[in-house]
Structures are given as C-alpha cells and as structure tokens.
Homo-oligomer: A and B are copies of this chain.
C-alpha cells in the first residue's frame, strides 16, 4: 500500500488494559483476556502489574495508568485483584474504568457465609512449603523422567499414561497435567514396531486402566513432522496415514479411550482426559 493512502486512513484508537494484583496477577490476566476476547475490533494493549503490595507501589501504578490514559485519549480498563483495602483505595483513584475482580465476589460471599473475609494478601506466598506444592514438583519430575517411554520403572505410581504416535501432543499434555493438576503423567509413543507386533508395548498391559490415547489427523501430523524433518518418509502424508490408522485400530482393539488433539488446546485435551478417566482435580 502506498504511503499516501495510509495517511488518510483513520488510526484505530488503542486502549490500555491493566491487570493489577498483589500477587502474580497471572490468573487475573488469563481471565481478563478471555472476557476481552468477546469484543471484536477493539484494539487493546494489555499490561500486568504484579506484586503491588504497598501504598507506594499503588501510587506508582496510578501514575502509569493515568499516563496511559493521556497517551491513548481513552481511560484505561483496570482489572484488579488487590486484597489490601488501603492499596485498593489508592489505585481506585486512577482515572480508569475499575473492575474489582476480588471485592465484587468477596462481599456477597461474606453475606452468604456469615463471616468476614480475612483480607490476607498472598495466601499462597508460603505455598512452596506445603504438601500440595511438593506433590506438584514431584509430579513434574516424574513426568519428565517418564517422557517418551524413557523408562518402565515406577509406572505403577503414574496417575495417567498417555499413548499415541510420535508428535501427536503427548509431551505438552503430560507436562500440563503435572504442572496444573499435580498428576504424575507418563507417556509412551506407539511406533511402527508396535504396529508390526500388533500389540501395545509390554510394560503397559499391567496399567491399562490408566492409559489414555491421543490421535490427530494425518494431514496435521504430517505438517507438524515436516517442520522438524522436512521431506522425510517419517513426515510424509502416506506414512502419517499408515501410523494413525494402525494406532487407532490398536486402541480400538485394546479398548483404550482416546481423543483427537487436532483442533484442541492443551487445556482442552487435559480437561477431556480428566473427564473421561473420571479424575476429579
């Protein structure tokens, strides 16, 4: 496009969204993102302000919010999960649309429960000492050690064993299940050797009730494999069709539940697995 036409097009105004928290603000940011995804055609710049846990930092935040508003020509949107009333009160003074994720729900819950909330900042700050936290780290270590069928040892400790052809999404899903839900998740590739023998890897038969399969369309698999090994037989559509056919036939024969990862996010795959295996996390 020539420069002259660009100049006569109106510039789309951009608005700034702040996510402000006395913790990491990561949950609030993901939440804000999904609410804002409901608005098409609004240009947004998202900014997370974590660890705002004292009045000084609250004043700094107000300055940043007000500056963004002046630059944009629109007041910013603020998603807040501030717990401390003193800090919250300062940030509320910013010239912004203030959405209080925290207080909006805490007040009605106080009425419902008939008790006051503790207004404790960073309930999770010392989480690293807790049993739950240790389980999480242990699950990540277990999952890494049992990635890609590296070892059969300790499979009896696994909560879930994923199977599927190479590059169908087993590793990211396993790591997510460990990281988010503290589930020890082993994964095992199904390879041409298994298809020739017509059997699952031997180590898996003892643990069939924990096995869940991932599949994928041959077209998508070929695309993914070609990014790694362009033009190889391994990545060819013909070979991908063969492997997927064999893997799905084997899973059907062995009574293994499976899903197609083709158009699903890691979160959706993980949630579906928990539903199917009836694991309540």
Name A residues whose Cβ lies closer than 8 Å to a Cβ of B.
Answer: 23-28, 30-31, 34-42, 47-48, 50-51, 77, 81, 83, 97, 99, 101-102, 104-106, 108-109, 112-113, 115, 117-120, 123-129, 133, 136-137, 140-141, 144, 147, 171-172, 175-176, 179-180, 261-268, 270-272, 275, 280-281
Q: Are the CB atoms of B106 and A38 closer together than 8 Å?
A: yes
Q: Are the CB atoms of B27 and A27 closer together than 8 Å?
A: yes
Q: Count this chain's copies in the assembly.
A: 2
Q: Are the CB atoms of B40 and A118 closer together than 8 Å?
A: yes
- Inter-chain CA distance A34–B121, complex, in Å, is 10
Q: A50-B271, A144-B171 are in contact. Are A38 and B118 (CB under 8 A)?
A: yes
When distances are taken between beta carbons in the complex, the residues of chain B under 8 Å from A280 are 47
When distances are taken between beta carbons in the complex, the residues of chain B under 8 Å from A34 are 23, 27, 81, 123-124
When distances are taken between beta carbons in the complex, the residues of chain B under 8 Å from A24 are 267-268, 270-271
Q: Are the CB atoms of B128 and A265 closer together than 8 Å?
A: yes
- Inter-chain CA distance A35–B141, complex, in Å, is 30
Q: Are the CB atoms of B180 and A26 closer together than 8 Å?
A: yes
